[in-house]
Amino acid sequence: MRKFALGCLSLLLVLLAYQQIRRNRMAPVPPNANLRIISLSPTLTEILFELGVGESMVGVTTYCVYPPEAQQKEKIGDFVNPNIEKMLSLQPDLIFAERWSSSKIVARLQEAGLNVVEVRSPHSIEEIYQVIHQVGQAVKKDDRARVIEADMRKRIDLIRAQAERMTYRPKIYIEIDLPSWTVGRNSYTSEAVTLCGARNIFEDVEKPALQVSNEVIIERNPDIILSFDAPATEYLQRPGWARVKAIQQRKIIDDVGRNLLSHGNHRLIAGMEQLQTRLLQMR
């Protein structure tokens, strides 16, 4: 009886292991024309459309609003709390997600037997190129990815050349979110601003993002404020900020698209072009 029980237990363990292998194995990816794609990131959604596979996308997050066609796609929630049941019902061949160390979503999707392309969130423009190529390779659009990179590099060269002709490199405070969230040196946003001809007042901090105090911002006294969220009028009302040069001279930029300079993809260049135009106007 004991041998029989042990035999049944061994068989059960083998069956469980086999089921786990079946759930985790990667299914063959069909040709582009038949791909069904879900994106869990606005940044990656924009890349996928730019690569020319927008028609293959069957689901996106509620934050995926660009291009306008993305708003017509089925919504599966957000990256933090996606509706996995709904995702399964869409029968995706590929799911694209950004890698966040604090998130367990990718592991849950893989346990459900879904194919996930996990992309490392970029911290530099060079890493943005790598992301575009990784996504392009996954959807068999390598050639298109190379075209996108070449166009980005060409436009950045023009931006860099213009910045080199600038005799004035203003100090700039970049507020990406409230309250007082900004970027440090290890950020493609900071790198982009520097290429445009300005100096991030927190470029000495080796972090991609950080929250700072009003006192430190006032002490560093930026010449220009770049706001992704708050309108210019809100800064004029902040206590103690009247001492800041940017406030005194009304040099607040709040009309460069947030999604342009905050998404790590090809659209960053359009944001850089807009920002540099505004910087030149403020000389």
Mean pLDDT, rounded, for 87-91? 95
Same fold: 26-146 with 168-281: yes
pLDDT single digits (tens) 179-224: 999 999 999 999 999 999 999 999 999 999 999 999 999 999 999 9
Identity of the residue numbered 154:
K
Mean pLDDT, rounded, for 84-89? 93
Q: Is the pLDDT of residue 6 over 50?
A: no
* Contacts for 156 with CB less than 8 Å, ≥ 6 apart: 125, 195, 269, 272
User: Sign (positive/negative) of CA torsion 271, 272, 278, 281?
Assistant: negative
Measure Cα distances from 83 to 61, 78, 88, 101 in Å: 10, 8, 9, 20
- What six digits make up the tokens of 61? 């997050």
How are beta strands 171-175 and 224-227 bridged, if at all? parallel
13 Cα distance to chain centroid: 42
Question: In the prediction, which pLDDT does 165 show?
Answer: 96
Question: In the prediction, which pLDDT does 12 show?
Answer: 41
Classify domain 26-146 at the CATH topology level.
Answer: Rossmann fold (3.40.50)
Q: Where are the domains of the chain?
A: 26-146, 168-281
**What is the dihedral angle through the alpha carbons of 99, 100, 101, 105, rounded to the nearest 10 degrees?**
-90
Q: Is the pLDDT of residue 122 over 70?
A: yes
Q: Of 31, 79, 82, 87, nearest to 59 (Cα)?
A: 87
- What six digits make up the tokens of 106? 């990718």
pTM over 0.75: yes
Q: Of 48, 127, 148, 52, nearest to 94 (Cα)?
A: 48
The Cα 132–Cα 146 span in angstroms is: 9
Question: In the prediction, which pLDDT does 25 show?
Answer: 40
Q: Which residue has the higher pLDDT, 3 or 101?
A: 101
pLDDT single digits (tens) 11-55: 444 334 434 433 434 445 555 568 999 999 999 999 999 999 999
The Cα 82–Cα 94 span in angstroms is: 15
Question: In the prediction, which pLDDT does 29 show?
Answer: 54
Question: In the prediction, which pLDDT does 17 show?
Answer: 40
User: Sign (positive/negative) of CA torsion 265, 68, 144, 134?
Assistant: positive
Question: In the prediction, which pLDDT does 19 show?
Answer: 42
- What six digits make up the tokens of 213? 């105090």
Mean pLDDT, rounded, for 248-259? 90
Measure Cα distances from 60 to 77, 94, 156 in Å: 8, 12, 30
Superfamily of domain 168-281: Nitrogenase molybdenum iron protein domain (3.40.50.1980)
Question: In the prediction, which pLDDT does 9 show?
Answer: 43
Q: Is the pLDDT of residue 118 over 50?
A: yes
Q: Which residue has the higher pLDDT, 104 or 187?
A: 187
Show contacts of 144-150: CB within 8 Å, 24+ apart. 144/50, 144/51, 144/52, 145/51, 148/50, 148/51, 148/266
DSSP calls for 25-78: SPPPPPPGGG--EEES-HHHHHHHHHHT-GGGEEEE-TT---SGGGGGSEE-B-
pLDDT mean across residues, the chain: 89
